[in-house]
Amino acid sequence: MVSNLQPKRLSIGIVGGGIGGVAFAVALSRDAGLDVQLFEAAPQFSEIGAGVSFGPNAVRAISLLGLESAYRRIADSSPAPFEDVWFEWRRGRDDAYLTASLAPGCGQSSVHRADFLDAIVANLPEGIARFGKRCAEVRQDDDGVEVDFEDGSRHRCDILIGFDGIKSTVRDHVLPPEQYGDLGPFWSGTYAYRGMIPTGQLEAAMEARGADRRLALVPQMYLGPDRHILTFPVKQSELINVVAFITDRSTPNPRLPEGEEWVKAVAQQELLEVFADWSAASRAILDCIPEPTRWALHELPELPFYHRGRVLIVGDAAHAMVPHQGAGAGQALEDAYVLASLLSDTSCTRQNAQQVLTAFEAVRHARACRVQRTSHEAGDLYEYSAPGIGADEARLAADLEARFDWLWNHDLRNDVAAARVRLGWESADSFATA
């Protein structure tokens, strides 16, 4: 009983209860020296969207966060003998095979977003999450941070972590618009039509159209000018997640029509017309989505920094990106692991917590910005618009075979070690020989 009365080493407030925020809270909750409170605007944990894909780096982050068993219970993968296939790449107009991107030992590892969030939440101790807490304002002084919520309540903590997504309120405190201008989300120029199809239905539709049934089961990308379609299994392969993209490249800075919702239901005919001249497999896929939703994909500019004093933004609040490398959720999980590792270290106290946030930013900023940038560039590549490659399918295939290696092969433990060196918790010599 005495240990429960010991003063906590550090109090941490977390704004945002999505996949990254909850995974971060779970990791911190294992340290009895930390007081952790998570604030979620919704009345309960919930995720929008359907399937989410994880590369090998993200799967390693999940494992390092101690959540691998929860993940493996619900994760899908490419069927044998295609276990290592991340995606097969095909020409959209005729299904011709171009190449495959391989992720040995991982393949296309994917989950349904809501299922994954539920699996993580099951590991979160009682008493950490607070619901109906929409952040209204953030203030800080030399001793701590105060957060005001729209329900009139207030919370004070030593440091505050904004895991509150692309429309982050915490970001406006870190980078005040009156000082830094508008650094909020902007439309990428791309619409994404989403749908989920029962696997058996898609197999039958493929066969009826004269396409190979295997295309329903193995993750596919169908590529073409200004458009592409992806498919991969979720829900223990009971469903196929489908996303069909079209990009407006008619102007350098496309604008979303005034007042248009980011997500809206549209008629199937709109989707069919976008891909009217595409292949048998593509038509089979789209015919199976009677009620598509259309998402206007937004992203953030590369931000100059992620923290101000005792307040840090991470995940989509800091580096929201388009989904073309399946990397957004993975970056949030990388952030969660590196930051939790540093804050859980007994060398971290309320006295040096600001320096810990500085060290975190120093080892994470360049990588996160590069993932943002290359995710946008990947969309250009898939849609035959990459500089120097365009519609040259031989060059396109060669690029696809190797372009993800740097992203997937990153070792997060090196990020933690580099931050520890910056903080003086570890010598550079020990890091170099590790």
Asked if 374 contacts 410 with a C-beta cutoff of 8 angstroms, the reply is: no
Give 312's DSSP letter. Answer: E
In whole angstroms, give the CA distance from residue 164 to residue 162: 5
pTM of the model: 0.95
In whole angstroms, give the CA distance from residue 418 to residue 416: 5
What does the pLDDT read at residue 300? 98
Asked if 376 contacts 322 with a C-beta cutoff of 8 angstroms, the reply is: yes
3-state DSSP assignment of residue 298? strand
What does the pLDDT read at residue 1? 37
Asked if 72 contacts 194 with a C-beta cutoff of 8 angstroms, the reply is: no
Element (H, E) at 254: none
What does the pLDDT read at residue 3? 44
Residue by residue, pLDDT tens for the chain (434 residues) are 334 556 899 999 999 999 999 999 999 999 999 999 999 999 998 876 677 889 999 999 999 999 999 998 888 887 788 889 999 999 999 999 999 999 988 888 888 888 899 999 999 999 999 999 999 999 999 999 999 999 999 999 999 999 999 999 999 999 999 999 999 999 999 999 999 999 999 999 999 999 999 999 999 999 999 999 999 988 888 999 999 999 999 998 899 999 999 999 999 999 999 999 999 999 999 999 999 999 999 999 999 999 999 999 999 999 999 999 999 999 999 999 999 999 999 999 999 999 999 999 999 999 999 999 999 999 999 999 999 999 999 999 999 999 999 999 999 999 999 999 999 998 877 655 45
Domain 186-299: CATH architecture, name and number where available: 2-Layer Sandwich (3.30)
Structure tokens at 228: 């592409």
**Pseudo-torsion of CA 362, 65, 115, 293, nearest 10°?**
10
Q: Which amino acid is at 152?
A: G
What does the pLDDT read at residue 2? 38
Q: Which residues contact 335 (CB under 8 A, 6 or more apart)?
A: 20, 24, 314, 315, 318, 364, 368
In whole angstroms, give the CA distance from residue 310 to residue 146: 10
Kindly report the CATH class assigned to 2-78+112-184+301-433: alpha beta
Asked if 38 contacts 22 with a C-beta cutoff of 8 angstroms, the reply is: yes
In whole angstroms, give the CA distance from residue 119 to residue 122: 5
In whole angstroms, give the CA distance from residue 207 to residue 216: 10
Q: Which amino acid is at 256?
A: L
Q: Where are the domains of the chain?
A: 2-78+112-184+301-433, 186-299
What does the pLDDT read at residue 141? 95
**Catalytic annotation present for 194:** yes
Q: How many residues does the chain have?
A: 434
3-state DSSP assignment of residue 79? coil
What does the pLDDT read at residue 79? 79
From the number of C-beta atoms within 10 Å of its C-beta (0-12, 13-18, 19+), residue 262 rates as: middle
Please, what sign has the CA dihedral across residues 263, 268, 274, 278?
positive
Give 286's DSSP letter. Answer: H
Active-site position among 194, 209, 308, 403: 194
What does the pLDDT read at residue 5? 59
How many CB atoms neighbour CB 325 within 10 A?
Answer: 23
Q: Which of 196, 208, 203 is nearest to 218 (CA)?
A: 203
190: left (phi over 0), alpha (psi -120 to 50) or beta: beta
Q: Which of 368, 358, 357 is nearest to 319 (CA)?
A: 368
Rg (CA), the chain: 22
